[in-house]
Amino acid sequence: MELRTQSLSTPSNWKRYTLVNDNGMEVTCLNYGGIITKILAPDQHNHFENVVLGYKNEQDYLHNPNFFGALIGRVAGRIQNSTFSIDGTTYELDANEGPNHLHGGANGFDRVIWDVEPFEESDKVGLTLTHTSPDGEGGYPGTVQVQVTYTLTNDNQLQITYDAQSDKKTALTLTNHSYFNLSGDLKQDILHHDVTIDSSHVVELDDTLIPTGNKLEVEGTVFDFRNGRQLKDGVSSSHPQNQYAGNGYDHNFIFDKYKQHDIVVRDETSGRQLTVDTEQPGFVMYTSNNLDESLQLSEGVSKKYLGVCLETQGSPASLEHQGFPSIVLDKDQPYRYTTTFTFGVIEK
């Protein structure tokens, strides 16, 4: 195991951390936003390439409207009209996407300089990131103590554990916003990635991407990934939900928890396989339908459908609608969820 730390000259308070396991797999991230900038994972020939989207110039993360690799909070997703109520009290949030509140607002956790403590053991290496979000920040109630742990193991697993506690009842659901592309070094888009999702229901969106409160059965639609399907199916679909999302997916899938893994992503050309297992009740899959086509990334220029986000989280729909697992955190209640990303190869 190896852990490398480097202070950046610009911006002066930024640090880069690289976790390396005994197999040669690497995960690189910044203390700014907890941003994962690079993941080097092996293909079927044990050739290591980058499998996430990241900027060529790290200074570009200062303006990161696509949230490449970032930690998201306090609430991942969209909150309608930037308001929610708890116990009869209404809280006005920062509106940063039209009238709505997205991913914690204009000064969310993706813009925080996190305190970082590296750790290294015989079979794992990692980082513990901590941050205190003060009462009223972004409009949210409660001072929230947040700890996020990135752990890289010799099983080629990246485990992300989210811990938090608030001194007031508040809303909280955290995630990581990495864009995955298993082709390696962005050689291809993700449209031919084959995805299996253990989910029979998806959260319906209106034409502004706000949850309606309805859960749609995936049976017979391009949202049925239970037996695997390619992401291109949603791009070419005439389903209104795909149209609303900009010809693709930007939807919260609710896990059934029947299968061995919550999500499996495969790229036949490289032979790479990514499995995702989480304690969260669902996740948002976003197929970069609206990705700016002029960004300078590590391996080339950005374009639509270049990465797929697998944002494990609770649904903000629970703040407005019944029938969803709550994202309200009681005073002094421990918040703890772990998501494990396992990088392997397709078994022939």
DSSP 8-state secondary structure symbol assigned to residue 183: T
346: which DSSP letter? -
Identify which of 126, 124, 135, 202 has the alpha carbon closest to the alpha carbon of residue 170: 135
177 is catalytic: yes
The catalytic residue among 26, 49, 311, 320 is 311
Q: Is residue 229 reached through a cis peptide bond, with omega within 30 degrees of 0 on the bond before it?
A: no
Give the pair of three-digit tokens for residue 343.
């990088």
* DSSP assignment letter at 54: -
Residue 112: count of CB within 10 angstroms of its CB: 21
Catalytic site residue 201? no
Long-range contact pairs involving 131-138 (C-beta distance under 8 Å, separation at least 24): 133/73, 133/74, 133/109, 135/167, 135/168, 137/74, 137/107, 138/74, 138/93, 138/94, 138/101, 138/104, 138/105, 138/107, 138/108
Catalytic choice (101, 103, 177, 201): 177
**Residues with catalytic annotation?**
177, 311
